[in-house]
Amino acid sequence: MLYHLFDWLGARVPGSGLFTYISFRAAMAVFISLLISLWWGKGIINLLRRMQVGETVRDLGLEGQIQKQGTPTMGGLIILSATIIPTLLFARLDNIYILLLLVSTVWLGAIGFIDDYIKVFKKDKRGLAGKFKVVGQVGVGIIIGSTVYFHPEIRTRVEVPEVIAQQFEEKDVHIITEEDGTQHYMLNRKSPNTTIPFVKDNELNYSSILAKLFGNGARQYTWILYIGIIIFIIAAVSNGANITDGLDGLATGTSAIMVLTLGILAYVSGNIIFAQYLDIMYIPGSGELAVFIGALLGACIGFLWYNAYPAQVFMGDTGSLALGGIIATLAILVRKELLIPVLCGIFLVENLSVMAQVSYFKYTRKKYGEGRRILLMSPLHHHYQKKGVHESKIVSRFWIVGIMLAVLSIVTLKLR
């Protein structure tokens, strides 16, 4: 909003040129987001207390669990408001990437809010039926996948020799001239490409997969494959964040680490100089994602002020479902979805721990007549609680692992 205002005012207002710089607007988004989450967050927590929107805790024999009874939940409203408001203020609202992120934030936040509302106000511990959550996640996956695949503004650029560039129309070629007169020919591509980590010449075209499996005629169905993959990724990461949200500050801290990493990846992918130097896919317009990411990062850090042990508020599904979905969407938009198992390793392991525990329990109950467990309790963070490790130490160690995975994700820019 402010970008468009100062762009319209132009030179009539001194200093308006600052708003043309993504780095300045991203920094302002972080600052305003922190202010909103810290100042407004306290008011939301007090409001939730007055409304008696407290967490209902089942006694599972975990240390300090009963003390959490009655702690305000639905604190994800703090994260959502502290993300959306700075984005509306400082981002370019004509940027398709920003619009997609706003849609996914509101969409998944609404699903989580309905789930929390049913649990708290309708006194139904089951919350929103699982099938409706899945329908919601599929819906946002279809929107993200189809837009990325079909929208004309979402393209990548790759450097090609002049002789090849001359074979294309002028609108499809972007020429960059260096100070010494050297020219680089960048070909605009509308293709379902992504990045394969740890591999040289690391671009993967989804249509080539179908062609190898079923012949060239199958390329016309690439959009079905692509949208299906996007739906799976968004659902998996969203549910992973939801499962990870079980200890004070765990989901918030690990999400902040992932968001910061994606901010770095988005910035270099949207900057043609860095993209050329690192020999990575250049994605025009994706640099604007840094503004949204700055707002989300500030929101997570500000929320952590109240969510750190001992938590004064829980994010609930309102925050966790949205956070996971946003992280997945960001990775998809910067063509790093295949990096998710590394970057979101915490979410992946938490998901797998639940799946393994449930599957093994059902298998042994059928085979031996009694269910047996791999872990003392799932998800994984509760296993360590059962072993007597203090909650804050578990969270700190998960953060450390998250930082290591984030560094490894950034290193993939050159490690091939």
User: What gap in Å lies between CA 6 and CA 187, rounded to an integer?
Assistant: 32
| Assigned domain for 292 exists | yes
Mean pLDDT confidence for 268-277: 82
| Assigned domain for 46 exists | yes
| Assigned domain for 181 exists | no
User: What gap in Å lies between CA 100 and CA 148, rounded to an integer?
Assistant: 9
Mean pLDDT confidence for 18-42: 89
| Assigned domain for 227 exists | yes
Q: Which domain holds residue 124?
A: 2-10+26-155+190-411
| Assigned domain for 163 exists | no
| Total domains, the chain | 1
pLDDT, tens only, 125-175: 778 888 889 999 999 999 999 999 998 888 776 666 666 667 666 666 767
* C-beta of residue 327 within 8 angstroms of C-beta of residue 101: no
In our burial notation (b when 16+ CB lie closer than 10 A, e otherwise), range 134-170 reads: eebbbebbebbbebbbeeeebbbbebbeeeebeeeee
Work out the pLDDT band at 414, boundaries 50, 70, 90: confident
Diameter of the chain by CA atoms? 80
DSSP SS3 for 294: helix
pLDDT, tens only, 183-232: 766 666 677 788 888 877 677 888 888 888 888 888 888 899 999 999 99
Work out the pLDDT band at 58, boundaries 50, 70, 90: low
User: What gap in Å lies between CA 288 and CA 271, rounded to an integer?
Assistant: 10
> Which two three-digit tokens encode residue 121?
């106000």
> Which two three-digit tokens encode residue 211?
């062609």
* C-beta of residue 325 within 8 angstroms of C-beta of residue 237: yes
Provide the edge-to-edge strand list for the sheet that holds 173-177.
156-160, 183-189, 173-177
> For position 96, what pLDDT does the model report?
93
| Assigned domain for 167 exists | no
User: What gap in Å lies between CA 320 and CA 79, rounded to an integer?
Assistant: 10
| Assigned domain for 229 exists | yes
| Assigned domain for 182 exists | no
What percent of the chain has pLDDT above 70? 84
Residues in the chain, overall count: 416
pLDDT at 295 over 80: yes
